[in-house]
Amino acid sequence: MQPLFENVFMLEGEVGGRPLQLMYLRGDHASLLLDTGCAGDPEKFIAAQIREAGGDPASLTWIVNTHCDLDHVGGNHAMKQIAPRAILACGDADRALCSDPDVLFRLRYDAYRADHGIFYNADQAAWTRQQSGTRQPVDLTFIGGEHITLSDDWEVEIVALPGHAKGHIGIFDPKNNALYGGDSIQGSVYLGLDGTPRLCPTYLHVDDYLNTIRFVEHLSISTFVGCHWSVKRGDEIRDFCAESRAFIQRADQLILDLVKTPHTLREICLTLAPALGDWEHVPALDLELVYALSGHVDRLVERGKIVSRRNAEGKLEYALP
């Protein structure tokens, strides 16, 4: 547990060898937990670190999911058992995926099977389902612009930060000049706890993601806290935004160069992985690029810069017009 400001704490866990940082805000009138980690994390570290921060996990007022990924919503059911009176909330567009792990798996983690032949093997799928937790309906949704009063002199705002997910939200804390942004901006790599590259960016909706980068760049903040990256302060925020945008621009150009001859999305991911990052290049990990690069090819098709068609195996492939 790491105190960031008065009554603002970063709870520290781990997922897949990477840091998992969840925010806990303790006000005089209300308290708020931002994200619930994987299925076992409420018991593993969240409740204990809330107590370490001087709070009572059973008395939480708000549990807010930034977005619909297993390491952000998997602990929803367990946290509601610990804090049954807490209001569970998320971005409106993510409601179904945050509420039901079966929907989450089908629409997010298994979305590329039919068109692209990209999917998790049995062991990976079993782990994903296990860590996604038990079904827990969301109580309330946000679209951005809502305010939560934590103390007489402390009000935070829900802000829309789409791109990694349609319903991605964050919390703007004007009292502390900070944004608690989840996975809204991802730079060019996820680093492990040991400082080595562990995962590629996993945004989905490129134009939304670019708009979120611009929003953060122009927001008057001095601190940006993401869930898997070091805390950014001052000019580091600008640099992180620039790094995120540069990855997008490089991915676009590499795809356009590659599809001068037809390529499937699987081929695009495996071919471009070494040029896009320094994470360990093994096929299973390189295929995590499917999230970001599917967003790129969809956007390039929509703009008429490339075309898609079915190959002999019935999978989509991409080429110049």
What pLDDT, on a 0 to 100 scale, did the predictor assign at position 133? 97
Element (H, E) at 62: strand 62-64
Give the HSE-up count for residue 286: Cα atoms under 13 Å, Cβ half-sphere: 17
User: 2-242: which CATH topology?
Assistant: Metallo-beta-lactamase; Chain A (3.60.15)
Give the HSE-up count for residue 111: Cα atoms under 13 Å, Cβ half-sphere: 14
Q: Give the number of other CB atoms < 10 A from CB of residue 57.
A: 20
Express each pLDDT in 80-128 by its tens digit.
Answer: 999 999 999 999 999 999 999 999 999 999 999 999 999 999 999 999 9
Query: To 5 degrees, how large is the angle CA 170–CA 230–CA 178?
Result: 40
User: 254-319: which CATH topology?
Assistant: Arc Repressor Mutant, subunit A (1.10.10)
Mean pLDDT to the nearest integer, 153-168: 98
| Predicted confidence band of residue 205 (pLDDT cuts 50, 70, 90) | very high
With H, G, I as helix, E, B as strand and everything else as coil, classify residue 86: coil
Q: Where are the domains of the chain?
A: 2-242, 254-319
Question: Tokens for 122?
Answer: 């049995």
Strand-pair category, 87-91 with 62-64: parallel
The per-residue pLDDT of the chain, averaged, comes to: 97
Express each pLDDT in 5-28 by its tens digit.
Answer: 999 999 999 999 999 999 999 999
With H, G, I as helix, E, B as strand and everything else as coil, classify residue 91: strand
For residue 282, is pLDDT > 80? no
What pLDDT, on a 0 to 100 scale, did the predictor assign at position 159? 98
CA 163, CA 246: separation in Å to the nearest integer?
15
What pLDDT, on a 0 to 100 scale, did the predictor assign at position 94? 98
CA 108, CA 102: separation in Å to the nearest integer?
10
Give the residue among 25, 20, 18 at the shortest CA–CA distance from 3. Answer: 25
User: Which single residue is written with the structure tokens 């676009």?
Assistant: 252
